[in-house]
């Protein structure tokens, strides 16, 4: 009797009532139970993620093994994007594209030749001074012999405690420098020729390549988006490289002047080297600081003379990074420093110095493509909306005003 009344009051049998109460208790207590369909969705997403990870690993392996071909081509494309606007301005005077591309490549080769000449003369003097520098460096490190000996004793004790009695084996490669040059010279020559050819043909035919890609787009909206990606990529990469080049020239002049005031030999050499290494952010300044520390050890006997060159350079580099570069590039081109560091580490691991140079431009290209194709950039914050709730704004091709309601009058 009581069971029937309970079933009548809840509108169902007692088992259903208990199930409803259990579901209510689970919701109130925050418990979640995954159904079979939910588990299938989770496994499907995990499988897709695993495929993506395996694809990325395969891509990295292919890029690593194809360094001989891809590295000069990627470098040529980045340099071509930098000089693309210059080629466009030359073509505005009615000059054919192949002539403008040839002029840009010739100007680039002239710039490289001038830079190499500026490096060659002072570097030859410092190469002659290497034995003297090494002798002074050994004398400066004499005071550290006690510390080094203590570390050696600790190493021997640790090795004996671990049961390792064998010493470290050193194998000396008897390959001469002439044989190494003879082995690597053909490959280096082929890479230089491939770089110059790729740079020339990219600058000369980049517009035709763009139109060929746009021809495969089936809709006008997709063609407009692809065209915008091409234009934004060239504009951002060209602006970045040209701006960084101007910043590096200013930094090099400042470093040369500061080292000249300190009395460091060959200040123009170190200023030029500081400007070149500054293209590889984070890594380049660290290498430059180590080089200037060695220069201080080789040219001075006092602590101030040893530490002054690297400290002055680090101060100038800090001023450049905090004030000059943001003022030239602007905050709109600012990238996440951690992502930039990861990109530089990845590309240097893959392709060495060439990878360090193209790391930031490749990151700019990826950021530009993702910004144009993902819908995340089409949200803005409304003043009347609650904090944290993005309100979508109209796309660039759509009208910025919502359609108004029809009025009563004709």
Determine which of 95-104, 150-159, 353-362 has the lowest per-residue pLDDT on average: 150-159
CB-based contact 50:58 (threshold 8 Å): no
CA distance 227 to 396: 13
Could you give the C-alpha distances from 107 to 101, 103, 110, 146, in angstroms and in order?
A: 10, 6, 5, 55
Average pLDDT in the 249-256 region? Answer: 94
pLDDT at 375: 60
Query: Can you tell me whether residue 251 is helix, strand or coil?
Result: helix
pLDDT at 35: 73
Return the number of other C-beta atoms located less than 10 Å from residue 225's C-beta.
Answer: 16
Chain position carrying tokens 């020729």 = 193
pLDDT at 200: 94
CA distance 259 to 306: 12
Burial of 226 (0-12, 13-18, 19+ CB in 10 A): middle
CB-based contact 361:78 (threshold 8 Å): yes
The region, left, alpha or beta by phi > 0 then psi within -120 to 50, assigned to residue 160 is alpha
pTM to 2 decimal places: 0.69
What is the chain's mean pLDDT, rounded? 77
Long-range contacts of the stretch 132-140 (C-beta < 8 A, 24+): 132/298, 133/294, 133/297, 133/298, 136/297, 136/298, 137/294, 137/297, 137/298, 140/297, 140/306
pLDDT at 155: 59
Positive or negative, the CA dihedral 277, 281, 284, 285 is: positive
Average pLDDT in the 106-130 region? Answer: 82
pLDDT at 152: 54
CA distance 106 to 200: 10
Is the confidence at residue 48, as pLDDT, over 60? yes
Is the confidence at residue 22, as pLDDT, over 80? no
The model's pLDDT over 370-399, given as tens digits with 9 standing for 90+, comes to 888 876 444 444 444 443 334 344 444 444
How large a percentage of the chain has pLDDT more than 70? 68
Is the confidence at residue 172, as pLDDT, over 50? no
Contacts of 364 (CB under 8 A, 6+ apart): 233, 236, 237, 240, 333, 335
Is the confidence at residue 70, as pLDDT, over 70? yes
CB-based contact 175:181 (threshold 8 Å): no
Question: Sorting pLDDT into bands at 50, 70 and 90, what band is 20?
Answer: low
Average pLDDT in the 4-12 region? Answer: 46
**Which letter, b or e, does each residue of 309-324 get, where b requires 16 or more Cβ atoms within 10 Å of its Cβ?**
bbebbeebbeebbeeb
DSSP state of 405: P
Determine which of 33-37, 275-279, 364-368 has the lowest per-residue pLDDT on average: 33-37
Average pLDDT in the 272-284 region? Answer: 90
Is the confidence at residue 303, as pLDDT, over 70? yes
pLDDT at 175: 52
Facing residues of 379 across strands?
Answer: 392
The model's pLDDT over 216-252, given as tens digits with 9 standing for 90+, comes to 888 888 898 899 999 999 988 998 999 999 999 999 9
Positive or negative, the CA dihedral 284, 57, 333, 91 is: positive
């Amino acid at each position: 009797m009581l069971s029937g009344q309970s079933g009548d009051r809840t509108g169902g049998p007692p088992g259903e009532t208990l199930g409803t109460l259990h579901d209510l208790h689970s919701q109130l207590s925050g418990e979640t139970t995954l159904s079979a369909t939910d588990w299938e969705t989770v496994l499907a997403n995990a499988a897709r993620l695993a495929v993506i990870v395996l694809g990325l690993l395969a891509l990295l392996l292919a890029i690593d093994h194809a360094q001989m071909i891809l590295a000069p081509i990627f470098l040529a494309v980045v340099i071509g994007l930098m000089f693309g606007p210059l080629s466009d301005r030359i073509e505005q005077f009615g000059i054919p594209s192949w002539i403008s591309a040839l002029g840009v490549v010739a100007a680039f080769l002239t710039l490289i030749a001038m830079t190499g000449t500026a490096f060659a003369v002072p570097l030859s003097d410092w190469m002659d001074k290497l034995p003297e520098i090494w002798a002074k460096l050994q004398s400066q490190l004499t005071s550290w012999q006690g510390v080094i000996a203590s570390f050696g004793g600790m190493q021997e004790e640790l090795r004996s405690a671990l049961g390792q009695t064998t010493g470290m084996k050193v194998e000396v490669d008897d390959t001469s420098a002439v044989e190494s040059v003879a082995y690597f010279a053909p490959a280096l020559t082929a890479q230089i020729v491939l770089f110059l050819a790729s740079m020339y043909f990219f600058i000369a035919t980049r517009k035709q390549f763009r139109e060929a890609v746009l021809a495969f787009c089936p809709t006008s909206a997709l063609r407009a988006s692809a065209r915008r990606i091409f234009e934004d990529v060239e504009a951002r990469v060209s602006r970045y490289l040209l701006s960084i080049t101007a910043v590096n020239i200013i930094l090099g002049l400042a470093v040369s002047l500061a080292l000249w005031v300190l009395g460091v030999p060959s200040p123009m050499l170190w200023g030029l080297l500081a400007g070149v290494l500054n293209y590889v952010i984070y890594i380049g300044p660290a290498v430059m600081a180590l080089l200037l520390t060695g220069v201080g050890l080789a040219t001075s006997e006092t602590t101030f003379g040893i530490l002054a060159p690297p400290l002055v350079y680090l101060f100038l580099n800090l001023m450049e990074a905090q004030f000059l570069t943001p003022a030239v590039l602007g905050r709109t081109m600012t990238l996440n420093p951690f992502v930039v560091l990861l990109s530089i580490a990845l590309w240097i691991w893959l392709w060495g110095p060439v990878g360090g140079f193209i790391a930031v431009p490749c990151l700019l290209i990826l950021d530009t493509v993702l910004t144009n194709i993902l819908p995340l950039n089409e949200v803005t914050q409304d003043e009347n909306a609650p904090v944290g709730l993005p309100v979508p704004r109209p796309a660039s091709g759509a009208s910025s005003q919502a359609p108004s309601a029809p009025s009563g009058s004709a």
